[in-house]
Amino acid sequence: MMRHMTKGFTMKTNHTCHFKHAGSMKEVSRNSVHLVVTSPPYPMIEMWDDLFAEQRPEVGLALKEGRRLEAYEAMHRELDTVWKEIFRVLVPGGFACVNIGDATRTIGGHFMLYPNHARILSAMIRLGFTPLPEIVWRKQSNAPNKFMGSGMLPAGAYVTQEHEYILILRKGDKREFKAEADKEHRHASAFFWEERNTFFSDVWFDLLGTRQNLEDKDVRKRSAAYPFELPYRLITMYSLKGDTVLDPFFGTGTTMLAAMAAGRNSIGYELSDGFAEAIDERTEDILAFSKERIAARLSNHMAFVKDRLASGKEFKHTNSHYLFPVVTGQERGLLLNEPESLVKTGPNTYEMTYSDSAPRQVIEAWERMAADAPQPPEPAIGKKRTKTGEKRNPGRSKNTDKSHPEQLELF
């Protein structure tokens, strides 16, 4: 597993999936995972009833007898076993990002909201996790009729659920990077300044839900994959290249694909081995797909630079790999390693190899764009002072621009 980038070193990542219950991840050592990105089965969503009942028979009995709150709590107790394992395997300072939606359901003529995000958050806090500000993302419904309840009549209608939560928690204090090699590696894993403005907003509107086109109807029924951009963005935000990402509810492997594209190792746990073929099929396109995502990020950044220069704003830093300007010194070592090959090394295991330098065509593309970019206006010279003896401020001019920072639609 890659830890630090050095010149001439071939970057590789490893990926594996275990088809077994994540409540006992004996294959994963304590304090060995840097990030968890996952989306569990949603308690009290009817499509998951049978799965929960298979693991805990009391769920099925409670639902049959209309004991809705007991069923809800029994489902969450099943998930609690996984949250406990996550705490064990995460490194100190590691993050857990849990995508979860609340449920609405009528049982025995009684309609109510089941606040899954609140129940999971409470359970993880009791385990010792530190909760951090969460993200809400809009998951729009394509249903032609969004009304619930009494339609246009007051005092009987219900708000439509079109959002989900990404709970963000950390194990212990902040992760430390004291050694010089660790600091350099952290800078190589950086993201662009303008990306940060989008990534770290607490509301995401630009993600769309996804469905898997699986031939097996039973597998398709149990598939609830989130869009690729969701784990890809979280992995970029909360881990370094060469880190290990865990998804204890693996499904069709979207988290693994995002880890491959981002240059991280991954481990997955999934109850149904019926997903194995679908996972294999999805890896067939990941090389081209990853290159497209990386190319889009680089293209967006170059367009951002061109627009910023045209507006008269300057850059003080240059990226050492791509040779284009960047806003902060933290971006100077940023390198998006392109995947070059993917090999299946065994049952449900893969190894991906990456480039260790910026593609020449990207550097040349920036050189062409820079040559065509409008030059910033020349500063005024020889301007008269308004007061006798007034001195020009030798320091940095104060930024009075109160507009919002530039934001780009990245994906």
In this prediction, residue 252 carries a pLDDT of: 93
In this prediction, residue 146 carries a pLDDT of: 59
| Dist. CA 169–CA 117, nearest whole Å | 12
SS3 state at 147 = coil
In this prediction, residue 282 carries a pLDDT of: 93
Name the band, by pLDDT with cuts 50, 70 and 90, for residue 300: very high
pLDDT digits (tens, 9 = 90+) for 40-78: 999 999 999 999 999 999 999 999 999 999 999 999 999
pLDDT digits (tens, 9 = 90+) for 36-45: 999 999 999 9
Q: What is the DSSP letter of 347?
A: T
pLDDT digits (tens, 9 = 90+) for 116-147: 999 999 999 999 999 999 999 998 665 555 55
In this prediction, residue 230 carries a pLDDT of: 96
In this prediction, residue 397 carries a pLDDT of: 38
Q: What is the DSSP letter of 42?
A: -
Domain ranges of the chain: 11-148+157-276
pTM of the model: 0.86
Residue 175 or 386, more confident: 175
**What is the percentage of the chain residues whose pLDDT exceeds 70?**
82
Structure tokens at 351: 């190894």
Would you state the torsion angle of the CA atoms of residues 117, 44, 80, 170, taken in this order, to the nearest 10 degrees?
Answer: -20
Are the CB atoms for 15 and 269 separated by under 8 Å? Answer: no
Residues with Cβ within 8 Å of residue 145, at least 6 apart in sequence: none
**Cα angle at 118 between 39 and 71, to 5 degrees?**
80
User: Rounded mean pLDDT of 256-275?
Assistant: 96
Helix (H) or strand (E) holding 288: helix 286-310
| Dist. CA 160–CA 178, nearest whole Å | 48
In this prediction, residue 401 carries a pLDDT of: 38
* CATH superfamily membership of 11-148+157-276: Vaccinia Virus protein VP39 (3.40.50.150)
Residue 21's identity, in one-letter code, is H
